[in-house]
Chains A and B, each alone.
Chain A
Amino acid sequence: MTTKTGDQESPQASSSQGDQLSVKRAPPPETPAALQTRFRVIAAFWAVIIFLGFPIWWKTTSIYRASLPIEEMVDWADGKACRPVFPLDIHLATPSMQSFEAQHLLRTTQHTLDDLNEFAAHHLRLKLTNGTTTAVHNGEDNLEYPAKETADTALTVRLLPQDGLASPWSELHAAATQLDIFYPPSQVPVPSSSNSPLSTFIAAELQQLYGEEKATIAHILSGNTAGLDSTSPQLAEDIDRRLRRSMKYAETYHLSFSLFTPGSEPSSWDIEAAVKEYVSPLLQALSPISNFTVDTQVQLYANFAPTAPKPEYDESEAAWTLKKEGLSAFVNAAEWPLNPSIGNGPTINFILYVPDPSQSPLIVKENRASSWIVPQWGGVFLLNPPLSNTGEQSAPSNPSHLSLDSLGPAFMTFSHQLLTLLGTPSTPASLPLRLQTSIRIRAASLLLSASSTMGSLARLTKSLPSIPIPATVATSVSTTLSHLSASCVHLREGRFGAALASARVAETEAERSFFEKSMVGQVYFPDEHKVAVYLPLLGPIGVPLVVGLLKELKRIAARRKANGAAS
């Protein structure tokens, strides 16, 4: 620094030295030309400081903070901007009813439904379908991206008269969003009556069908506290448990299927066919909710962790057993190459464990189960393939190849585990309906989580004034807000697929804006520290410059005065 200072001063210091010399030794005053030169020198330095130095100082030390729509963000977080509602369109197909009868049935049923409903945000809207025959086929439509204009059809209820029934009964199509209700023709409500057993029955069926969904959504919207009063403690417990074990939402999940075995065999499996056969259909069905990638691996000689409890032989079961409390240590996290970092997004691990022939079959002691779920992590399946006794003396060995058929149960279980881990509700007993329900649940939770992230970001912005906010964050925030409102509108109009798509974008952008990498605040830097930063270098440079300027100003002032006095 010293050299720097010394030299910085040098033009002036030496010039002033020269001037001093001249003053001391040479009585003749400085010539006007010399004065002018000195003025120019000082002006040149100050011009650089003022026209370049200050802008640079301003530009480089100010923290860029893009302006964010704080009010709007807080409104979203407080739930003022949007009250999510879930109007479900239920189509009533009455192929064998008169239209006025159907109308009446619709009205009474709707009335009964409304009476039963205690959660206003989630309500069922009954509609009559015109084409009575086409209704049968739309079972699949829910899985596709819906047309922009119409609301999704949540369920088609087909009313079929059946002779010889005492009371109506229903049958849910397991593979379609369709509910068939068979009723005795005598129960068709007469227009005069305000109520009828049939409409009561339909309403009760529907209510029961959507009971869990309603409770779940209520649970989510109320911030994970007790949802509805009517929810049974059992159901509330179930919902809570499911939400706890399901993965955090991510735009992309990586599914990792791993075959682990302590020996050298099996060393190959029909994984490609198995994934295509058992997993892909489910993944396609889940595609509106998230993207998935699939990775597989085979690990031979995979041992348990030294601390993990060893399997014990159970005579009564004629099998090796693992204790339930020891299962959490089953996965040897330290040595098994799991949790790989595949891009961004969480990995869901599915482990197919083939025990050593000497420990086969291996089951869980308590209930003879062969699979379990590790919440928020993945699932494990113990596969005990038939052992082959090739040699006379040699111990039995595992097959070297696992065929598609032998993988069947494991991969079906994995599919089930995947559904569970993604938080798919357990009722109703129709997979398409359950997937639909999860679309709504996801839309609700994403809407909520993106909104709350907006609120967090807004509060963060206010509470940490030293944190920089790059323009990308502002862009992300505005994208989030626009998609949030789009999602809200979609929900209100019953287009849940579109609502979820918007909510996904909102969530992704919200996360991106909050976790923006450059938004790590400056290390705490009070103003007195800044003085310590600026002074050692700028002080020595600045002092001669300031003194020079002051002298110059004094001289000019003096000359003015002298001029004024002279005139």
Chain B
Amino acid sequence: MALLFRFLQAFALLLLASAVVAEHTSNWAVLVSTSRFWFNYRHLANVLSLYRTVKRLGIPDSQIILMLPDDMACNPRNAFPGTVYSNADRAVDLYGDNIEVDYRGYEVTVENFIRLLTDRLDEDVPRSKRLGSDAGSNVLVYMTGHGGDQFLKFQDAEEIGAWDLADAFGQMWEKKRYHELLFMIDTCQANTMYTHFYSPNIVATGSSEIDQSSYSHHADNDVGVAVIDRWTYYVLEFLETQVTSVTSKLNLGDLFDSYDESKIHSQPGVRWDLFPGGEQEGRLRTVVDFFGNVQNVEVENANATEPGSLKEDLAEIARLVEKWQNRDEEYSAMLADSATNVTEDLHSSSLHLKLKSTVGPTKMAEDSSWGKRLVGISVVGACTAIWVAGSFLGRSSV
């Protein structure tokens, strides 16, 4: 019954979604590595390579959430301190000097990841740690780590299940936190992770089928460990050699067609059915729709005269300024009157904030220790008195 309901619901959402104009207004990327320790170097290198690519294609750091559970660059076993490479030729230092890690070390937890996606975060969490996407955002979610059938391990301590992930995306869709979402995962049995997704507008792709391992590509003998996974390597190869600029017209179809099982050593999977229009439509989305950023700076034309243009506005604002200068004081008095009305209505909303107890600064004062001693003596005295009284009473009663 519940299943049927869910299907109906998904169907209704699909109908709704298909009506939406297929254009996005911003791009966000969530790049997650879930494993720590030196021998998992390649997972961090995977993520950093992707990070480099999306940055190259124009997504600013403020719209990339990077989760790195370990710091390979500063690992004492790293023969090349301060660097991370995803290739044995060590041509590109992925660490560079412009890396913004948003969640690091033990902050990379299942709970934080789900909170990030659903934005159920404390008010105090800075915006750099939030996914600020909205109904017009295309979101790229890339995950890598050690996984299994329908789960992905986080930091050797916990795991996220395919159900949890699906529910998180479901909630994102409910709250219009994405327009279209590309989910990529490189782990063993990766394709099982997206089997439970139910929210529309998602294209999901993974590195390996159920019961298949996802292999590393090659090791760097000087670093001493494998530096990148196969599937990610070939995805990156495509992105780096074919998608050279933001204007690239290559689409997701081309990307997925570039998968070569003989090279990847596992069967990558793609899931289209959640996307409106299915595979046909989905294949047409360009790669930069997800990996690049919308280029949308609007230069103001100082010479245009149509309504709403800079010139018109400037004139209006100048008039406003002039008028308000004259009526400034008068107006603020009136505003104060009317403000009382407004605050009444808004009271319930501000009440919530006040309830939160804050630890304020406290003044430290060296009290005259005699005062405290007096208190001490009186406490001890009172207790002794009661005790002695008890002894008397108790003895007399026996």
Contact = CB atoms under 8 A, between A and B. Distances in A.
A378 B319 CA distance: 23
A427 B308 contact: yes
Interface in B316-331: 316-321, 323-325, 327-328, 331
Given A245-B298, A344-B123, A505-B346, A416 B167 contact: no
Nearest to A479: B348
Nearest to B121: A517
A416 B9 contact: no
A346 B19 CA distance: 29
A505 B308 contact: no
Nearest to A291: B346
Contacts of A56: none
A144 B310 contact: no
A145 B341 contact: yes
B114 A520 contact: yes
A412 B318 contact: yes
Contact of B299 (A305, A369, A523): A369
Size category of the A interface is: 35 or more
B118 A333 contact: no
Given A284-B331, A505-B348, 15 more contacts: A333-B62, A346-B127, A347-B127, A375-B297, A416-B314, A426-B306, A426-B308, A427-B307, A453-B175, A456-B174, A460-B171, A463-B170, A502-B345, A509-B349, A521-B167
A515 interface: yes
B110 interface: yes
Nearest to A366: B299
Nearest to B293: A328
A245 B315 CA distance: 22
A364 B297 CA distance: 12
Given A333-B60, A463-B6, A145 B342 contact: yes
A347 B126 CA distance: 12
Contacts of B374: none
Contact of B345 (A225, A426, A501): A501
A375 B25 contact: yes
B20 interface: yes
A224 interface: yes
Contacts of A419: 313, 317
Please classify the interface of chain B as helix (H, G, I), strand (E, B), loop, or mixed, using the class held by over half of its residues.
helix
Contacts of A515: 118-121
Interface residues of B, number: 84
A197 to B, nearest CB: 26
A501 B306 CA distance: 32
B136 interface: yes
Nearest to B196: A524
Interface in B344-363: 345-346, 348-349, 352
B295 interface: yes
Contacts of B122: 517
Contacts of B310: 371, 413, 416
Contact of B62 (A339, A371, A512): A339
A382 to B, nearest CB: 11
Contacts of A509: 348-349
Interface string B66-78: 0000000000000
A456 B160 CA distance: 24
Given A174-B316, A502-B345, A505-B349, A376 B25 contact: yes
A539 to B, nearest CB: 24
B262 interface: no
A281 interface: yes
B389 to A, nearest CB: 36
B334 A144 contact: yes
